[in-house]
Chain A
Amino acid sequence: MNALAPSSPDNARRSPAEIALIAAAYAIVGLMLVLPPVLVFTEALRSGLGAALASITDPDALSAIKLTLEMTVAAVAINTSFGVLAAWLLAKYRFPGRSVLVALIEIPISVSPVVAGLVWLLLFGTQGWWGEALNRVGITIAFATPGILLATLFVTFPFVTRTLLPLMEQQGRDAEEAATLLGASFWRILWGVTLPEARWALLSGGLLTTARAMGEFGAVSVVSGHIPGLTETMPLHIETLYNGYQSVAAFSMAALLAIMAMATVGMRSLFEARMRREEPRKAETAGGGA
C-alpha cells in the first residue's frame, strides 16, 4: 500500500522500498551484531572444547576470574547502597544545590575510562598527592587491588541512581508521608515502602553496574600493575594472553566474560519486561518521560 508504513496484517504485499529496507536491516544485524560473537566462540573452540576449558582453568585465569568477581561484588554492593540513598534524596526532597548533585552524579558517564583510571593515580600514585605518604605507612592503592576497586566504583557510579531516580520521583511521597505519620523510622520507610515499589528498577540498576564492573578495561588497565595471578582482572588477562600469541586462550577467556556479561544484561531485560508487565501504567509514563 505505502512505502514505509507498517505492512498490512497479512504481510502479503511489501513495496520494493520496504523489502530493500528489511534486507538492509538483516544485513546490518548479520554483519555488525551476529558475526562478532560467532567469531569469539569459533576462535575459542578452534583447538577443541578441551583446550578452551584448560585455558580458563589455568591458575592465572582462575585468579583473574576470582578477582573480577570480588571487584564486581564489592563495587555493586557499595554503589548500590549509596546509590539508593542518593536516589531517595534527589527524588523525595527539593533543596538548593539539588541540580548540581544530579549533574555531578552524571559526570562519570561522559569521562573516558582511561581518565577514570588516571584520576586515582593523581591521588594515590607515587607522583600523586598522597601516594608517597601512604606508601611510607605501608598502604598501597595504585597498582594494587584497592586502586582497581576505586576505578571500578568511578565508572559504575551513576547506574543505580539513574535507574531508580525517575521511578522514585514518579512514586511521589504520599505513601512515605503516611508511613511517617504512623511513626515509621527512615529505614523502615525506605525498606518497607519505597524500595518494594522500586525493586525491579533497583535490580536493573544493580545488574547494569554488574555488567560494567565485570567488563571494565580502560580504567582498570591504568591503575593495575598487570601482574598475572595478582592484579589482573579478566579483561586485562585477555589482553595479556592476546599479546602473548595465545589466541585460543584469549578468546576462551573472552567467551566466558562475554557470556557472563550477556547473561547479566539479558537478565536485566527480563526484569524490565516484568516491571513493565506489573506496572504497565507507571512504566509507560516513566518510559515516555525519559
Chain B
Amino acid sequence: MNRATASRTVPYGMSKAAARPNRARLMSGLTPYLFIAPGFLLFTLAILYPLVQAFQVSFYDWKIIAGAVSDFVGLENYQRALADPRFWHSLVNSGVYMLFTVPPQIALGLMVAMLLVKKGPAQPLFRVLFYLPVVTSWVVVSLLFKYLFADEGLINYTLGDFLHLSDGETSWLSSRWTAMVAICALGIWKGIGWSMMIFLAALQGVPRDLEEAAILDGANRWQRFLSVTLPAIWAAVIFVAVMLVIGGFNVFTSVLVMTGGGPGGATEVVLTYMYKQAFEYLDFGYGSAIAVLLTVLVFVLSVLQLKFFGNRDGGEK
C-alpha cells in the first residue's frame, strides 16, 4: 500500500524507477514508528512525564500548591526512608506478598493452561471462568475477600463448622501473617487467569513434531513436559515471572481495602505507605522518594531475573 501511494505521488518528469525505492524505503521505515507514535505519546504523557516529575519531587520538601517554591533537600528524603523502620516493614510485607503469590500464580496458571489447551466441549467456558477474576475490579473482589475472611465470614464457617479443621474463630484480618494469608489468597486467585492466558498462547507454539517424536521415543507425560513443552514456552515463563514480580511489589488496592495497612501498620505494604505519606500527610517529597526506591528495586530485580533465567533455552525460540 505504501509502495502504491509512493508511486502515485511521484512528480512528473522524475524517473519512477529512481524515486520509488527511496520513497518506499523511507515510508516503510517510518511505518512502524507511525504505528507506535500514538501509544508512545500516551506513554510519555501518562507514565514517563509523571515518572520524571516524581524523581524530581523526591529531592524536595515539596509544596503541592501551584506556584509555591519548594525547598531543595538533596538526598534527605532518601536518607529518611532508609532509616524509617515502617518503610522497611512495608517493604518486607511487599516482598513476602511477592514471594508467596508469584510461584503459585505461575504453577497454577501453567497447570490450568495445560488442562485447557486441549479442545473440549466445556473448554471455552472454563477459559472464561478462570479469566473472569482478572477483569473484575480490584475494589470489588477485595471487598468480597474482606467479607470472606471476616470473623464471621465464609472461610471461618467452612474451616470451623463444616470441615472442623479449626475452631472457626480465627481473626484473619487482625494480625500480620493471617491477614497476609488472606491478601495473598486474593492475589493468587485473581492472577491465575492472566498467567493462564499467556501460557495458553505460548502452548500453541509448541512444535507438534517434537511432541510426536518424544512420544515415539517413549517419553512419558512428565518427561515430555520437561523436555519439549517447557523449553518451548520458556520465554513466556520468563515474561510471566518478570511481570508478576513487578506486579507483586505493586500490591496496593487489596491491602488498602482489606486491612487499610492495619492493625497498627502491621500489614502496610510499600504502596499503601507511600500513598499515605503523599495523600494523607501531603508529604509528596517523601512519598516520591519511596516510589523511586521501589522503582529502582523492581528494575534491578527484573534485570537480574532476565540475566539469570532469560538465557536458559530462551534463545532458541
Pair from one complex: no
Q: Contact residues of A with B, CB < 8 Å?
A: none
Q: Contact residues of B with A, CB < 8 Å?
A: none
